Amino acid sequence: MRTIGLIGGMSFESSAVYYRLVNEMVRERLGGLASAEVLMHSVNFEEIVSMQKAGDWDGAARRLGDVALKLQVGGADCVLICTNTMHLIAEQVAARISVPLIHIIDETAASLKAAGRRRPLLLATRYTMEHGFYADRMKSLGVEIAVPEAEDRTIVHDIIFSELCAGKVLDSSREKLMRIIEREMAKGADSIILGCTEICLILDPNNLPLPGFDTTTIHAKAAIEFSLGADRKREAA
């Protein structure tokens, strides 16, 4: 079993989900009391959010790059950035280490293509929905994403940062998200990407009007496949 390195704390609410998922998956695969070999470095999210708001992505890349290198030195055989938004700087972080960085967008695109989905609706932070890095990488992998209208993007972003990252899960916000999904269904969306690692706290991907793809679960599964040495090659679509 190879050691998984997790860059967590963005927010710790979703990092706790990652930790639970990778251990549950190892126990399911190996049985008994088996659990994952994991190293986690949890950062101060307030520091990262300040960089996001200031547009200091270079500073954020240095910070997470330092953390990734510490994980590698500590024995991690791969690294995961446990958040979609900070994959905006994934290439800079990957350049700091010599072990694989398992990329959440690549893994999500592979899952979408395997399911025959080509027009998913992305629900995520404003940074992920608007900065282009997510859409561009998905497009390069053969997937055209859709995002909500500007007003709805604000609603999703605020639910994530003001509520989910603070441990608040409100039925009223779940209803808002479902209305957004219904509006985008009418425009041709064929699936839903839970593109923020906290959204699984409020939306069940298996209880949506379209097929749901939870990036947190997809990312954790990829880490376990790497750790346990499974064949992670994907068939070409």
Pairing status of strand 38-42 against strand 78-81: unpaired
Coil/strand/helix, residue 6:
strand
Specify the residue for token string 């690549």. 106
How distant, in Å, are the alpha carbons of 26, 82, 91, 123, 226 from that of 229? 12, 21, 24, 31, 5
**The tokens of 30 are what?**
């190996």
- Taking Cα atoms as reference points, which of 194, 234, 199, 235 lies closest to residue 211? 194
Specify the residue for token string 């940062």. 161
- Scored b (16 or more CB within 10 A) or e, 15-29 reads bebbbebbbebbeee
* Sign of the Cα pseudo-torsion (4, 8, 12, 13, in order): negative
Active-site positions read 83, 196
- Taking Cα atoms as reference points, which of 213, 195, 15 lies closest to residue 113? 213
